[in-house]
Amino acid sequence: MKNSRFWKILILSLIFNFAFLIFSFSLHASGSPKSHETFWGTVSVKEYTLNNGIKVLIIEDHKAPLATFQIWYRVGSKDESIGKTGVSHLLEHMMFKGTSKYGSKVFSNIIQRNGGTDNAHTTKDYTMYHQTLSSDRIGISIELESDRMCNLLLDPKEVINERNVVMEERRMRYEDDPQSLLYEEVIATAFKAHPYRWPVIGWMSDIASIEREDLYRHYIAYYSPDNAFIVISGDVKAEDVIQKVKEGFEHIKPDKVRVERYKAEEPRQEGEKRVYLKKEAELPYLLIAYHVPSFPHKDSFALDVLSTILSAGKSSRLYKDIIYEKRLALNIFADYSGFYKDPFLFILGGTLAPQKNIEDLEKTIYNEIERIKNEVPSEKEIQKAKNQIEASFIFAQDSTYSRAFYTGMFEMLGDWRLMDKYLEGIREVKPDDIQAVAKKYLTDDNKTVGILIPIKNSK
Amino acid sequence: MLHAERHNLPIVMVTLLIKASPLNEPDDKAGIAYLTAKMLTEGTKKRKASEISEEIEFMGASLDASTSSDYTTISLSVLRKDVEKGFEIFSDVLQNPLFPEEEIKRKKEIIKGSLMQSEEDPSFVASKTFIKEVFGDHPYGRLVNGSIETIDSIKRGDIVKFYNEHYISDNAILSVVGDITPNELNSLIDKYLGQWKTGDKSQQTEVRIQTEKKHKDKKIVIIDKNITQANIIFGHRGIARDNPDYYAVSVMNYILGGGGFASRLMKVLRDDMGLTYSIYSSFSGNKEIGQFEVEVQTKNESAGTAIREILKQINKIKTEAVTEQELNDAKAYLTGSFPRRLETSKRIADFLAAVEFYKLGDDYIKRYPDYINQVTKEDVLRVAKKYLNSENYVLVIVGDKKKIDLSYLQPSENIKQFTY
């Protein structure tokens, strides 16, 4: 080699003991639990259902000696009531505060002692708990998660403490962050009938009012095997690990009282809504939100490609026009996540550059939307967006956590097999489809606009 | 060059580490390392800025440059099928950047605007103030992206000079991980990086820290802002990465505040007292001596209580040996989490480059568990005594001053107060 003088050559390929992924297409059907197997991308998923209704999805992946365990409960802030918003999220916190068997915070300590990491998050639709650890320790996850599914303590003293913790979390994430606060305002304005309108963390006064009894009712109502599913991904053998899951979970009865869930539907918006937020801030900030359907609605794929064309990367339309050419904003985005249970929003926004006018920014965004409506985007531009979506999907599979996460996300939306449908749908999007969804959804009467107006402090 | 072959996915991750950071900047041109890195993808002899992003994004790839306090990395993530094209663009931005005047102007505007917007974020304000108080004029005392004044003073000629001095092959570490064989990689490197110039390093400047400089007093800075929480950073100078005590300090800090829910600070301030959502302590083991810091947010009214508890915990770990269980748990986590921290190709690529940069040795991965397992309770106590200081420190609080009660700290003339 010409320049071996400075290139220190070191081949490290053996250190991690990498194995090739073995693709497997065989269909397992060995009595109970029954299992299916399908193939997407480079991963195969095995599906089992235990007698108490809990579904288990297993993704074998032997590249590293690690495994991720995720348990998804089908409950989120959309299942809450006015006056007690934030109860799902506070319950998620309380799940770490001890059972009759293990004391408060023992959960995370055990996982960390085993070299693992654990966490959880609550969304509008679901609550998910996860651990990633050495694959030979996966039994620990099974034992601890099954325990807290049925033996949670909810000690009243701990409830008060944790309520304070969540109020601090709210102060940090929202109260003292003007851009997040504007986001909260815009969502709350865009929705009037659907519970998507309140934030997952809850309103401050609601959090303060949540008592042990509220949490207990929520726990009894939603934390049962027939309202949950498990995803395990990593260096495990499906036949072995499913036996452990059976031992851990099958004794839990689906006998909890399920509250009836109401299906809320947001009525069609018939005119623009605007909201202003005046807060101490440095620069104005703009959000524009349009009601749109969610995946797997037929329009969701074109909306996804549209948001990519508009704002993914420096070659995207909004970046080129607004940041590069006109220098109107410091950042700009068009965000469409179709991965909600019910219809949500297509949100555009950005931070105004110093000494610029917020009205110009808003107008320029509308001009870009009109451009899409008036001229069909080129095949090449659409191909670029599809390549970006597909590549990011492949990159994400490098971690056992995100493999499990994508599988679980689609299962939460109805069926993990929808993953195939998603990528197929993206590949099939035509230029006309993009134009059609822009015309159908990105209209003046369907939008909610939020503007952060910085005020200087009085001190 | 470092290479790890992995064939689990059809992807290739390239990390090129360049020894260029604020440590190499003239003070009045602070931010030049960052600006130079960001300018690489803004136009070359062959491509305009827009062509670079168009070609990279058409492949679904990404090409980014970023600067930390010790070095700059240029990272390429690309699908295997596009690896040749990816390497070609990578080598183009690395070897042929043009630094067009117009693009520099744009980039400066964005950096300055972002700096301005960051002032909205109280934890940013706290952190900026904290490092300034701890490191003074040393480059670690300022933001990697510079300040509005210094950015304005950077001219195109300065960037070209900085680039010529630092972006040379004998000042770089290349790390490639993913679905590529050694032969394939060698031929790509020959073809695209074989002509990369060496250079004259004699013009490079590097600031060394005064290792023995210690804080002789407390410095308390209060920045008054109309917000609901006090954003608190407590700390002082810590250790450098090459300090032999690095591993004992890692164990000690895990027990004190680095170990998430397993740490004492989290247990006391969050679980037992409900004072905060987030609290942690850290030592940044950098090339030069970095900082030790404890960062916490709590409502203004409980700021005083939180600080008192932090001081209590620091005093405790300085005077009493940790328990056997705490020691074993910390070691078990630090050694056991190693494979997880190196799970993805991207992480491995970055890790290998950093191991080389900090000269940790080719067998570092093998030796790491021993380094950690050798740490004793006595070591933990010794390093706590040596590297933690509950008397002389910097304390920065960004919050609503009239609601913050610090009376027990016996404020002295050393307290600086700012109104924001």
This model of the complex carries an ipTM of 0.93
What is the number of alpha carbons within 13 Å of residue A38 lying toward its C-beta?
12
Structure tokens at A78: 């959309």
Residue A350 pLDDT exceeds 50: yes
Please list every residue in chain A whose beta carbon sits closer than 8 Å to the beta carbon of residue B56: 313
pTM of the model: 0.92
pLDDT (0 to 100) of residue B284? 94
DSSP letter (8 states) at residue A207: H
For residue A399, give the chain B residue with the closest CA. B344
Contact residues for A375 (Cβ-Cβ < 8 A; gap 6+): none
pLDDT (0 to 100) of residue A45? 93
The ranges assigned to domains in chain A are 39-250, 273-455
* CB contact A353 to B (< 8 Å): yes
What is the number of alpha carbons within 13 Å of residue A151 lying toward its C-beta?
16
**Residues 304-343 of chain A whose Cβ lies under 8 A from any Cβ of chain B:** 312-316, 320, 323-324, 327, 330
pLDDT, chain A, mean: 89
C-alpha dihedral, A40 to A124 to A349 to A375, nearest 10°: 50
B1–A10 C-beta distance less than 8 A: yes
* Unique residue bearing structure tokens 């799902």: A88
Going by pLDDT thresholds of 50, 70 and 90, the confidence category of residue B201 is: confident
Residue A231 pLDDT exceeds 70: yes
Residue B141 pLDDT exceeds 90: yes
pLDDT (0 to 100) of residue B62? 97
Residue A257 pLDDT exceeds 90: no
Q: Is the peptide bond before A33 cis (omega within 30 degrees of 0)?
A: yes
Nearest to A457 among B117, B226, B228 (CB): B226
Please list every residue in chain A whose beta carbon sits closer than 8 Å to the beta carbon of residue B227: 175-176, 280
Taking the C-alpha atoms of residue A199 and residue A124, their distance in angstroms, rounded to an integer, is 8
Q: Is B341 left (phi over 0), alpha (psi -120 to 50) or beta?
A: alpha
> In b/e form, how buried is each residue of B327-349, taking b as 16+ CB within 10 angstroms?
bebbbbbbbbbebbebbbbbbbb
Count H helices and E strands in chain A, helices first: 15, 13
Average pLDDT over residues B96-114: 97
> Which fold is adopted by the domain A39-250?
Cytochrome Bc1 Complex; Chain A, domain 1 (3.30.830)
Going by pLDDT thresholds of 50, 70 and 90, the confidence category of residue B213 is: low
Average pLDDT over residues A311-317: 97
Length of chain A, in residues: 459
* Unique residue bearing structure tokens 């606060």: A181
CB count within 10 Å of CB B224 equals 18
Dihedral pair phi/psi, residue B162, rounded to 5°: -60, -45
For residue B50, give the chain A residue with the closest CA. A315
Tell me, yes or no, if the two domains A39-250 and A273-455 fold the same way: yes
Taking the C-alpha atoms of residue B301 and residue B229, their distance in angstroms, rounded to an integer, is 8
* CB contact A96 to B (< 8 Å): yes
Residue B174 pLDDT exceeds 80: yes
Least Cα distance to A377 among A304, A324, A298, A433 occurs for A433
What is the number of alpha carbons within 13 Å of residue A227 lying toward its C-beta?
26
Average pLDDT over residues A101-130: 94
Please list every residue in chain A whose beta carbon sits closer than 8 Å to the beta carbon of residue B113: 283, 330, 351, 353-354
Query: What confidence tens digit (pLDDT) does each residue in A408-430 have?
Result: 999 999 999 999 899 999 999 99
8 A C-beta contact, residue B87 and residue B192: yes
B190–A112 C-beta distance less than 8 A: no
Contact residues for A358 (Cβ-Cβ < 8 A; gap 6+): A284, A286, A352, A451
Q: Which CATH superfamily, name and number, covers A273-455?
A: Metalloenzyme, LuxS/M16 peptidase-like (3.30.830.10)
Residue A15 pLDDT exceeds 80: no
For residue A169, give the chain B residue with the closest CA. B277
Please list every residue in chain B whose beta carbon sits closer than 8 Å to the beta carbon of residue A390: 60
Task: Report strand pairing: A10-11 vs B2-5.
Answer: parallel
A16 versus A212: which is more confidently predicted? A212
Annotation says A280 is catalytic = no
Please list every residue in chain A whose beta carbon sits closer than 8 Å to the beta carbon of residue B106: 324, 327
DSSP H or E segment with residue A113: helix A106-113
pLDDT (0 to 100) of residue B207? 64
C-alpha dihedral, B185 to B187 to B192 to B193, nearest 10°: 70
A113–B112 C-beta distance less than 8 A: no
Residue A237 pLDDT exceeds 90: yes
Residue A34 pLDDT exceeds 50: no
Going by pLDDT thresholds of 50, 70 and 90, the confidence category of residue B215 is: low
Residue % of chain B over a pLDDT of 90? 87
Nearest to B343 among A42, A64, A316 (CB): A64
Nearest to A172 among B225, B278, B344 (CB): B278
* CB contact A12 to B (< 8 Å): yes
